[in-house]
């Protein structure tokens, strides 16, 4: 089962992602986002996301197949995210994947979204595409997965829906969740603080933009659940809701006093607090488990300061840092296809059609 041709379907949140890979080679990666439809609500509305997946699913599959230059009949398997994520959104992808698998008579692999983020790092982009680098790639260190992913590795996954720290001993058989957010996801915190500052949704890029002119040391915001000394509960867990409240209180106090709010300083100081706590825990996880490798994934990886501090701290600690291209960091189908291909190459049996969407699927 060398280099299987796999179509991956991702619909756990607001991106309808269809990706096609051959082994570890990326052939196409089509992403349709319903982000714009959620903007007026300041966050992803599950029903709106599910409906958008329904509308985008078939056109996205058609586009990905055309872009890859393959026929559906050539596929070796279908892979699909069956959790964790929004239940209604997941169900659309799971339903589409099952229908495709049955209609084509192909095996199906149900995969975990978080593990899929790690799988993104395995993909290499054919040279023709690499010559046209990702237009949306942010400034800062861009580190490609040109060399194979080595095990074990620590993975820090940060997006609007999750904030998780994983110990990956083997992608297809041994992934351990070390910690996760106990309240808001990191991206969600960016979105909520942006709202407090009167900036539009999604807030992450906005905060990044205004923070450029701010002083990150202007205000010392709290680092939630800052690293306990022992291996206690919550050592690798995150909490961002206290930070969000602290920023809101600080801003309100200025407004009540009739003072101008120094938006750039607030944004820079908030961003610094998030980046500090994320990387303190990620680097501690590397130390504690004697793993000199850190992989970053998720949409928040677009954050310029996060990339910068990640580079500084991993360099200082002798940890090899890996950041896949941004188009593979945000939610996408290619990472799901990549994980499916790994399962096939490792000889794993396909999933039986009985599986369903599981919004709280563990790794
Ligand atoms: O992975 P992603 O595209 O999908 C979802 O989680 O739905 O992540 C989107 C999240 C949003 O919360 C957005 O505000 C955040 O990633 N984000 C950022 C930046 N760009 C996007 N957060 C901080 N800094 C950024 N530059
Ligand atoms: Zn994700």
DSSP string spanning 63-127? Answer: HHHHHHT--GGG-SEEEEEEESS-HHHHHHHHHHHHHHHHHHT--EEEEEHHHHHHHGGG-B--H
- What's the total number of domains in the chain? 2
Helix/strand/coil for 129: helix
Angle between helices 186-196 and 241-256 (to 10 degrees): 10
Q: Is the per-residue pLDDT at 113 higher than 60? A: yes
The reply to whether 225 sits in an annotated binding site is no
| Band of pLDDT at residue 248, cut at 50, 70 and 90 | very high
Taking residues 305-324, report their average pLDDT: 97
Q: Is a pLDDT exceeding 80 seen at residue 127?
A: no
Ligand 1 atom closest to the Cα of residue 207 is: 24
Name 297's bridge partners. 157
Same domain, 184 and 104: no
Q: What is the pLDDT of residue 146?
A: 56
Instruction: Tell me the per-residue pLDDT of 9-61, one tens digit each, with 9 for 90 and over.
Output: 999 999 999 999 999 999 999 999 999 999 989 889 999 999 999 999 999 99
pLDDT, residue 228, reads 76
The yes-or-no verdict on residue 131 having pLDDT over 70 is no
CB 8 within 8 A of CB 112: no
Task: Please check whether residues 103 and 175 belong to one and the same domain.
Answer: no
pLDDT band at 1 (very low <50, low <70, confident <90, very high): confident
Q: Are residues 231 and 129 in the same domain?
A: no
Statement to judge: residues 298 and 332 lie in one domain: no
Question: Per residue in 180-191, pLDDT tens?
Answer: 999 999 999 999
> Which residues are within 8 A (CB) of 65 and not within 5 positions of it... i.e. 6 or more apart?
7, 20, 28, 71, 72
Residues 171 and 205 occupy one common structural domain:
yes
208 annotated among ligand-binding-site residues: yes
What is the ipTM metric for this complex? 0.98
Same domain, 99 and 226: no
Query: For residue 53, is it within any domain?
Result: yes
The answer to whether 112 is annotated as binding is no
Could you tell me the CATH number of the domain that includes residue 197? 3.30.420.40
Beta carbon of 159 within 6 Å of any ligand 1 atom: yes
Using alpha carbons only, what angle is made at residue 241 by residues 220 and 325, rounded to the nearest 5 degrees? 85
Give the per-residue pLDDT at 130: 52
Backbone angles phi, psi at 309, to 5 degrees: -70, -35
Q: Quick one: pLDDT at residue 226?
A: 84
Q: What share of the chain is helix, strand, coil (3-state, %, to 5)?
A: 45, 20, 35
pLDDT confidence of residue 132: 47
Residue 363 placed within a domain: no
Confidence of residue 177 (pLDDT cuts 50, 70, 90): very high
One domain for residues 160 and 308: yes
Summarised one tens digit per residue, pLDDT across range 215-238 is 999 999 999 888 877 767 889 999
pTM comes to: 0.94
Q: Confirm or reject: Cβ of 10 under 6 Å from ligand 1.
A: no
Q: Is residue 144 part of a domain?
A: no
**Domain match, 85 and 173 both:** no
**pLDDT interval class at 128 (50, 70, 90):** low
Whether residues 93 and 112 share a domain: the answer is: yes
Contact 4, 20 (CB under 8 A): no
What's the mean pLDDT in 164-168?
98
Which atom of ligand 1 lies nearest, measured to the CA of 138? 26
Query: 176 lies in a domain?
Result: yes
Single out the residue of 217, 175, 190, 205 nearest to residue 363, CA to CA: 175
User: Does residue 354 belong to any structural domain of this protein?
Assistant: no
Tell me, yes or no, whether 112 lies in a domain.
yes
Q: Looking at the structure, tell me whether residues 182 and 318 fall in a common domain.
A: yes
Q: Which atom of ligand 1 is nearest to the CA of 201?
A: 14
Alpha-carbon distance of 82 to 133, in angstroms, equals 31
Q: How many residues does the chain have?
A: 363
Regarding whether 11 and 126 lie in a shared domain, the answer is: yes
Mark whether 132 and 194 lie in a shared domain.
Answer: no
SS3 label, residue 16 = strand
**Better-predicted residue by pLDDT, 205 or 126:** 205
Asked if residue 77 belongs to a domain, the reply is yes
Residue 129 has pLDDT above 70, yes or no: no
**Which residues constitute the domain of residue 158?**
153-324
- The sign of the torsion formed by the CA atoms of 204, 210, 216, 217 equals negative
Task: Beginning with the edge strand found earlier in the chain, give each strand of the sheet holding 153-158 in spatial order.
Answer: 174-180, 163-170, 153-158, 293-297, 320-322
Q: Tell me if 353 is assigned to some domain.
A: no
| pLDDT the model gives residue 140 | 47
**Residue 267 CB less than 6 A away from ligand 1:** no
């Amino acid at each position: 089962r060398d280099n299987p041709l796999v179509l991956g379907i991702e619909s756990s949140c607001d991106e309808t992602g269809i990706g096609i890979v051959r082994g570890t080679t990326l052939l196409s990666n089509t992403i349709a986002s319903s982000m714009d439809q959620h903007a007026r609500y300041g966050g992803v509305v599950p029903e709106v996301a599910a409906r958008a997946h329904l509308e985008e699913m078939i056109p996205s599959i058609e586009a990905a197949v055309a872009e890859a230059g393959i026929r559906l009949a050539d596929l070796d398997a279908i892979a699909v995210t069956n959790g964790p994520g929004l239940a209604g959104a997941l169900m659309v992808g799971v339903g589409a994947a099952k229908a495709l698998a049955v209609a084509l008579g192909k095996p199906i692999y149900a995969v975990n979204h978080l593990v899929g983020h790690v799988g993104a790092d395995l993909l290499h982009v054919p040279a023709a595409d690499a010559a046209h680098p990702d237009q949306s790639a942010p400034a800062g260190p861009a580190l490609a997965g040109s060399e194979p992913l080595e095990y074990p590795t620590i993975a820090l996954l940060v997006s609007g829906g999750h904030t998780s720290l994983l110990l990956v001993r083997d992608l297809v058989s041994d992934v351990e969740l070390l910690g996760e957010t106990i309240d808001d996801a990191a991206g969600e915190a960016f979105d909520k603080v942006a709202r407090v500052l009167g900036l539009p949704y999604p807030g992450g890029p906005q905060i990044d933009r205004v923070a450029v002119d701010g002083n990150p040391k202007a205000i010392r915001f709290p680092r939630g659940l800052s690293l306990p000394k022992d291996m206690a509960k919550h050592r690798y867990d995150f909490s961002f809701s206290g930070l969000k409240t602290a920023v809101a209180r600080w801003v309100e106090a200025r407004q009540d006093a009739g003072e101008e709010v120094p938006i750039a300083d607030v944004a820079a100081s908030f961003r610094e607090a998030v980046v500090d706590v994320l990387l303190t825990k990620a680097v501690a996880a590397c130390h504690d488990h004697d793993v000199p490798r850190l992989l970053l994934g998720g949409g928040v990886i677009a954050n310029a300061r996060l990339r910068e501090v990640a580079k500084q701290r991993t360099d200082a600690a002798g940890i090899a840092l890996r950041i896949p291209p941004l188009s593979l960091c945000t939610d996408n189908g290619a990472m799901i296809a990549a994980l499916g291909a790994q399962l096939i190459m490792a000889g794993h049996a396909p999933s039986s059609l009985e599986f369903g969407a599981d919004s709280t699927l563990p790794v």
